[in-house]
Amino acid sequence: MKSKTFVAKPTPKSERKWYLVNAEGKVLGHMTPQIANILRGKDKPTFTPHVDTGDYVVVINAEKVMLTGKKTEQKEYITHSGYLGHLHRQSFERIHQTNPTRIVKEAVAGMIPRNRMKKFILKRLMVYAGSEHPHMGQNPTPLNS
């Protein structure tokens, strides 16, 4: 008897769980793979790569995230508009002062596969610089890492 391959159905919005991650004092490179796995649904036994089965993640205290080694002095964020000569480089310190949520968002986005699902997966990531967030009504479960 042949066994059939299981293919998950997309999880309805009402059945998705909410997780809360406090980034205070955590290393960015250790925290982001766990967040990416939850967003994709890889922590579930019903994971299917081409089906959206992930959960929501709320990250608070993004301004207090840490980097290891000399990354705080050496790391750069690069953007390009598509026009010649419009390559912009910004240091980690400058991004950390102006928009600390971008640091976590870009780190998690880099760990999501570059396919059609990426934009839908990243919509479920909410990042806040401080400890306040408007998602208390969903009763997010604290993520222990």
What pTM value is reported for the model? 0.90
Tens digit of each residue's pLDDT (9 = 90 or more) over 24-44: 999 999 999 999 999 999 999
pLDDT at 55: 96
The domains located in the chain, with CATH, are 13-67+99-142 (3.90.1180.10)
Tens-digit pLDDT profile for residues 93-115: 999 999 999 999 999 999 999 99
Q: Which residues of 11-27 are buried (b: 16+ CB within 10 A; e: fewer)?
A: beeeeebbbbbbbeebe
Tokens of 2: 């042949």
